[in-house]
Structure 1
Amino acid sequence: MALPKFAATRSFHTELKTRINHYFEESGQRMTGDTSLIFKGVLLVSVMAALYVHLVFFTPAWGWALLECALLGCVIAAIGFNVMHDGAHGSFSRFAWVNKLAAYTLGVLGGSPYMWNSKHNLIHHTYTNIEGHDDDINIQPWMRMTPDQPKHALHRYQHFYFWALYCMLYTSWIFAMDYQKYFSRQIGAIGLKPMNTGEHVSFWGFKALNLLLYVALPIYMVGFWPWFAGFMLSTAVAGLVLSMVFQLAHTVEDAAFPVPHAITHKLEDEWAIHQVRTTANFATDNKVVSWLVGGLNFQIEHHLFPKISHVHYPAISKIVQQVCAEFDITYNNYARTRTAMLSHVMYLRQMGRAA
């Protein structure tokens, strides 16, 4: 499948970059994370380590254990949002080794940093919401996420059962999807570049470490069924939280799903306008939500400037909104999380029923 081609004009993107660069020059700040982000990262990793140690080595009573497992799932998602995500984009710290360390938290949690970089940084951030290229909107045949995907009878009810599928995201990610990409050498219709020896070792090393930490050792310490119940609960919570935050950014009623020209494969918009049209923000005035999801509720700013740490998104969002208004580009923003969630549900309902 030929890759889509964006419009050659870059006037919108050029104006955005000029104003954003001016903001950082005027404020004297670095575009990467600050000490508050380092503190948050240390805090989240410490909380996860404490929960893990208490669950595996001190075996709390069932009630406490289930509560801690649910909390563990939330913390896993929070580390993904706040630490791994910025680290993988090179925006967590001004030091490359710190960014690499932050990105590698994904490996400890069971995912593959290599596959994430290819799937998310390179493909999703380039071909956002383009059917056949953006693997994030490919949940076939279980769900229909775009107008160009085939519709099946079960899709009529997808706005009811999507919760269960989202809960399965984390386990399917670490136990199936990474391996499928590794052996097929493809992500969707796009082939992966050849992996070097270090990348192969990293892939299998992290997978082995995850199995040791989250499967073998807990089963040895607490037994199979207690481990199974706790593991399924924590991964279900993590999967649901991860899925909802990412889906609210792109699969809502106001997000666009551009289709390249059938022959030329060209798109109508330049890359930056494409990112704004295919993306939505939510609850940007809610500081608690912003803190917990690592600024991913400012998804428009993230897609336009992935190399800028999320700690700066509230400030630069005002600049982005102003430039969008000047270029007559709709800036999709849901005032509350529940409003964005309702829009996602209504979008799924629409996709399940529309021709």
Structure 2
Amino acid sequence: MERLKKPTFLHSPKDDFFRKLSKEVKENILVDTSVQRKSIYKALFLLALFLFFYSCILFFGNTIRYLYLFYILMGISMIVIFVNSFHDAAHGAVFFKKKHNRWFCYTLELFGSNSAVWIKRHTLLHHPYPNIQNWDCDIKQSDAVRLFPNSKWYSFHKYQHIYMWFVYPFYTLIWLFIRDFKDFFGIKDNYLKRLYTIPRVEYVRLFVAKAFNLFYMLMVPYWVLNHSFLTIFSAWIVMHLIASVVGVVALISTHVDESAVFPIPDEEGNMQTSWLEHQLSVTKDFSAGNTVADFLYGGFTHHTAHHLFPTITHTYYPQITPLIRKYANENNLPYTCYPVLHAIRSHFRLLKHSGASENIIRTGEL
């Protein structure tokens, strides 16, 4: 196996605005700890809501419309927990104590995945190297869709802007029953395992979490309710389809629009920009400041703030984003925020362009 050459960014100048921004955030925003307590209350409320919807399935699920309704609401609450509270806790940002953040991260096991490996792939690869081919495995997950301009092109990619409408609704199922196993057992282009040795106990937790998830999601309702297993199973599938649609909005709206850049390091791993310039160039906000969007998607609507301050909980971001916008404008650096529908349309235009046989997506130069 060849020696990895991690991408290395240019050193920022001493008057880098990020230093001024960080100082202002620390002195004027983070002093109000009540904003972080809001994040704690939100995390506990969302988890209670998930458990409430599950109990409603068991108590009211004999009526078919309630069965489907509460499965769908449970799935949506699962996604909202993930993109808000779990995501922040994975960065140690929700609770004041590290152990409490780690405890909350076990909600991902409740959802059937593995929190330890997800945290490593997210913090070791996506956050340091967003939109860099091979290194950002949060974006490059499968050959079924071509996003990076240097990825291998297959003839079926010409239709990806059409067929991905039908693939994205299966995102959570693909995650639970394909992507997790690729992370643990895959060899091809598995940069995570080249940087991190997965402890044996996590292999056990992976299978236990999936078995427990299927047990309480499928078997318990089947035993408690007067429905066939096929009916319970179909409600569970619908839950995943709706939850995936809600979740995918966050995933496709922050890094992979039609104006996305995918910088390429040279043979020695050297990048042409500083870390700050890179993060601002490859990260987009969507519907930031919209009350409903901010509540549902947390640190994804204010995703630029999240990439610059990942260890700060998302309830601070509405105060931080205007500062980022101000400093970016003053220093002639990009800051982008789209309405959510524009971001979705832009993503599918990217799919159409990057699925063409000729590469017309910008690379390297920012």
Shift of 1:205: 3.6
- Which residue matches 2:68? 66
Contact kept in structure 1, 2:114 and 2:202, CA below 8 Å? no
Matching of residues 234-253 of structure 1 within 5 Å = 234-253=239-258
Q: Output the amino acid matched with 1:219.
A: Y
Q: 2:217 aligns with which of 214, 218, 229?
A: 214
Equivalents in 1 of 2:323, 2:244: separation in Å? 33
Query: How well do the aligned residues superpose, as a CA RMSD in angstroms?
Result: 2.3
Correspondence for 1:278: 282
- Structure 1, 319-328 or 299-308: larger mean CA deviation: 319-328
Match of 2:326 in 1: 322
In structure 2, distance between residues paired with 1:231 and 1:6: 44
* 1:50 counterpart (49, 52, 58): 52
**Structure 1 73/12 Cα, relative in aligned 2: closer, same or farther at 3 Å?**
farther
CA shift in 2, pair 1:310/1:12, >3 Å: farther
SS of alignment partner, residue 137 of structure 1? coil
Equivalent runs, 1:298-309 vs 2, <5 Å: 298-309=302-313
The 1-side partners of 2:142 and 2:29 are apart by 46
Q: Give me the identity figure in percent.
A: 26
Counterpart position of 1:115: 117
Query: Is the 8 Å Cα contact of residues 135 and 187 (structure 1) preserved in structure 2?
Result: no
Distance in 1 (alpha carbons) for counterparts of 2:177 and 2:6: 31
Residue 203 (structure 1) aligns with: 206
Is the alpha carbon distance of 1:286 and 1:183 closer, same or farther for their aligned partners in structure 2, counting shifts above 3 Å? same
* Cα shift at 1:230: 1.0
Shift of 1:132: 1.7
Which residues in structure 2 correspond to 1:1-355 (within 5 Å)?
2-11=4-13, 14-27=16-29, 29=31, 34-184=36-186, 188-190=190-192, 191-196=194-199, 198-222=201-225, 223-261=228-266, 263-334=267-338, 336-353=339-356, 355=358
CA contact (8 A) 1:33 1:91 kept: no
SS in 1 for 2:300: coil
Please list every run of 5 or more consecutive structure 1 residues that lacks an aligned counterpart in the other structure. none
CA drift of 1:195 comes to: 3.4
Partner Cα separation in structure 1 for residue 209 and residue 190 of structure 2: 23
Tell me how far apart the structure 1 counterparts of residues 187 and 143 of structure 2 sit (CA, whole Å): 21
Q: Structure 1 17/111 Cα, relative in aligned 2: closer, same or farther at 3 Å?
A: farther
In structure 2, how many angstroms separate the alpha carbons of the residues matched to 1:187 and 1:29? 43
Out of 147-156 and 118-127, give the one that drifted further.
147-156
- Residues 81, 296 of structure 1: 8 Å contact kept: yes
Gaps of 5+ in 2: 359-366
Cα distance in 1 between the residues matched to 2:35 and 2:81: 15
Q: CA distance change for structure 1 residues 297 and 13 in 2, over 3 Å: closer, same or farther?
A: farther
On the 8 A contact 1:86/1:103 being kept in 2, the answer is no
Residues 242-283 of structure 1: CA distance to partner in whole angstroms, max 9, x if unpaired?
22211110110222111111x222111122211111111111
The answer to whether the Cα contact below 8 Å between 2:74 and 2:239 also exists between their aligned partners in 1 is yes
Query: Aligned pairs, how many?
Result: 353
Shift of 1:285: 2.6
Whether the 8 Å CA contact 1:33–1:310 is kept in 2: the answer is no
Please give the secondary structure, in 1, of the residue aligned with 2:74. helix
The 1:324–1:193 alpha-carbon spacing in structure 2 relative to 1, beyond 3 Å, is same
SS at match of 2:298: coil
